[in-house]
Amino acid sequence: MSKFFIKENASVVISGAAGQGIETVEQFLTRIFKNSGYYTYSTKEFMSRIRGGCNSTEVRISSKPVSAYVDRIDILIALSEDVFQHLESRISENTIIFSEHKNNLDSSLKVVDIPLAKLSKEAGGKIYANTIAAGLVFGLFSIDFSIIELELKKIFLDKPAEILNNNLKAAQIGYDLGQKYTNDNGIEIDIPKNPEAKDNMLVNGTDTVAMGCIAGGCNFISSYPMSPGTGVLAFLARQADDFGIIVDQAEDEIAAINTGLGAWYAGARAMVTTSGGGFALMSEGVSLSGMLEIPIVIHIAQRPGPATGLPTRTEQGDLELALYSGHGEFPRIIFAPGTPQEAFELSQKAFSLADKFQSPVFILTDQYLLDSLYSIDSLDFDSIEVHNHFEKTNQDYRRYELTENGISPRGIPGYGEGLVVVDSDEHDEEGHITENLDIRNKMVEKRLKKLDLIKKEIVPPELIGLELYKTLIISWGSTKKVIEEALNSLNDPEMALLHFCQVYPIHSSLKDYMDRAENLIIAENNATSQFGKLIKLETGVEIPYKILKYSGMPFSVEEIVKELKEVCHGCKQL
């Protein structure tokens, strides 16, 4: 085999059938590389089945922060024969493949035979193949084996000694192979370590959404499980005792949102977490929130639809669902974090604004953001303050008192002398049902007034790049880091990214940013440019160039680079 060089950063992909422990390897690799002084990032793609099929996880290893998916595969560990067809479009002549399944492979490919079945048997059984694979990667990078040993002891602390010893043996077998192939096969990896990486946190999007909810004072969650939103429910359930959180696994999504509204009415700070198909059942509850003026925080973890669609894949297809859900007219807020830090900050902010404006607040994520594993500096816990926006009632208390700004004083049953009357029909200031048309007009106007106040607290978009841009790319949610790395790769000072982590209401600065651009491009993980349509509705501007993907996979850095080059070639920019 000729010399094989990897510099700056590496893309390592481990792929095999469901049930072969691909996710376990991912977690093991990222922790060891972080503890060894590398920045890491990983993302996975998997089929909706318990066993079989073909899944893969990509782990990026770098001396600088990385947070985006790439098509490129530098090192591929293939645990089953189906891998080659599954990843065919990503395997190149620059990929080095480790596998015992090499029949019918193109002779031009770099393939190293590893007898995994035989080696796994030596380690104690085929279940240890994934540990051998991980050890092989560590050996290629010459990781200090004591770090690997320490991590394995942590992982198997509560397991029988035999399991720990077999995993240590498997890791050593793989490690020795990696060292051998590095020395004998001309594999040279030159990625400098960065000591700052050791102090980083390893988190996925699910963790940071859930932590943000806790930071926002969430003490009640009612949900019906639906991937990929279930992770937030599971995280809060694990933390329930430490943070005083009541966890209710409801019988269905309708019950979940109504229970959440009841919890807010009683003085709790509640949320629901679901995905598009589950949220579809909650739309009447969103209207109920609007009419009762009771807050609710709704986390929608987007995945491809319609119906069950691709239940384990990713898409940005539910913006319009969140925007137009519920009947009637009332204000709402929609956040769409693009990084773990944004997920934490916006989830916390969601509770604050829901409480303050007595309105539904949405957190839109997707499978890509939630399931990816990031190495980040820290999360800002110190600046967080939780304020409850309810007051002690008196005997003359009126729940829907007409006020100048549209926000009525919110009372809690039993906190004070007043009655807290609410009703899902139109009501008067005291909360009693009415069909008085004059009162109806006043109540509609009162509820809509709150939108003016909400607009004063919109999170502004972030401009990434120079102010003197000619081409402006607009993104929202999880596409942020992929586009940012693509722009860094292109290194064109006349191109900039405008990223939105709040997609409704839209910040008033958008029009000015667009007016300054010669060329406008929007990139979205959906088929119809849902945010682009909302921008046109709000500003009257049709964005002419759209980069859209709706296969169920996220954008890769290479795809964005290619698309931008093609679009800008037409604009005569590159």
DSSP-assigned letters across all residues of 436-490:
-HHHHHHHHHHHHHHHHHHGGGPPPPEEES-SS-SEEEEEEGGGHHHHHHHHHHH
Q: Tell me the per-residue pLDDT of 316-328, one tens digit each, with 9 for 90 and over.
A: 999 999 999 999 9
Taking residue 192's Cβ as centre, other Cβ atoms within 10 Å add up to 11
- Determine contact, residues 255/281, Cβ cutoff 8 Å: no
Q: Tell me the per-residue pLDDT of 196-222, one tens digit each, with 9 for 90 and over.
A: 999 999 999 999 999 999 999 999 999
- Any domain includes 149: yes
Q: Tell me the per-residue pLDDT of 341-399, one tens digit each, with 9 for 90 and over.
A: 999 999 999 999 999 999 999 999 999 999 999 999 989 888 788 889 999 999 999 99
In degrees to the nearest 10, what's the CA dihedral of 65, 69, 72, 74? 50
What is the average pLDDT score of the chain? 94
Q: Are residues 343 and 195 in the same domain?
A: no
- Determine contact, residues 239/378, Cβ cutoff 8 Å: no
Q: Tell me the per-residue pLDDT of 502-560, one tens digit each, with 9 for 90 and over.
A: 999 999 999 999 999 999 999 999 999 999 999 999 999 999 999 999 999 999 999 99
- Which residues does 159 contact at the CB level (< 8 Å), separation at least 6? none
Q: Are residues 559 and 529 in the same domain?
A: yes
Of 183, 199, 215, the last residue of a domain is: 199
Q: Are residues 113 and 186 in the same domain?
A: yes
6 band by pLDDT with thresholds 50, 70 and 90: confident
Q: How far is CA 332 from the centre of its chain?
A: 21
Identify the CA nearest to 194 among candidates 316, 66, 326: 66
CATH no. for residue 277? 3.40.50.970
pTM greater than 0.85 (yes/no):
yes
Amino acid at 152: L
Q: Distances from the Cα of 277 to the Cαs of 23, 63, 502, in angstroms?
A: 25, 40, 22
Q: Are residues 56 and 119 in the same domain?
A: yes
CATH no. for residue 103? 3.40.920.10
Q: Are residues 67 and 144 in the same domain?
A: yes
Within 13 A of 416's CA, how many CA atoms are on the CB side?
20
Which domain range does residue 108 map to? 4-199
Identify the CA nearest to 541 among candidates 567, 511, 507, 503: 511
One DSSP character per residue, 324-388 reads: H-SSS----EEE---SHHHHHHHHHHHHHHHHHHTSEEEEEEEHHHHH-EEEES----TT-----
CATH no. for residue 501? 3.40.50.920
pLDDT above 70: residue 184: no
Task: Please tell me which of 105-119, 400-414, 559-573 the model is most confident about, judged by mean pLDDT.
Answer: 400-414
Give the SS3 label for residue 12.
strand
Q: Tell me the per-residue pLDDT of 441-489, one tens digit each, with 9 for 90 and over.
A: 999 999 999 999 999 999 999 999 999 999 999 999 999 999 999 999 9
Of 440, 457, 474, the last residue of a domain is: 457
- Helix (H) / strand (E) containing 512: helix 510-515
Of 457, 478, 498, the last residue of a domain is: 457
pLDDT at position 111 = 87
- Any domain includes 447: yes
Q: Tell me the per-residue pLDDT of 85-104, one tens digit each, with 9 for 90 and over.
A: 999 999 998 999 999 877 66
Amino acid at 330: F
The tokens of 153 are what? 């002891």
Q: What domain count does the chain have?
A: 4
pLDDT at position 19 = 82
- Determine contact, residues 55/47, Cβ cutoff 8 Å: yes
Q: Is the dihedral of CA 40, 303, 46, 238 positive or negative?
A: positive
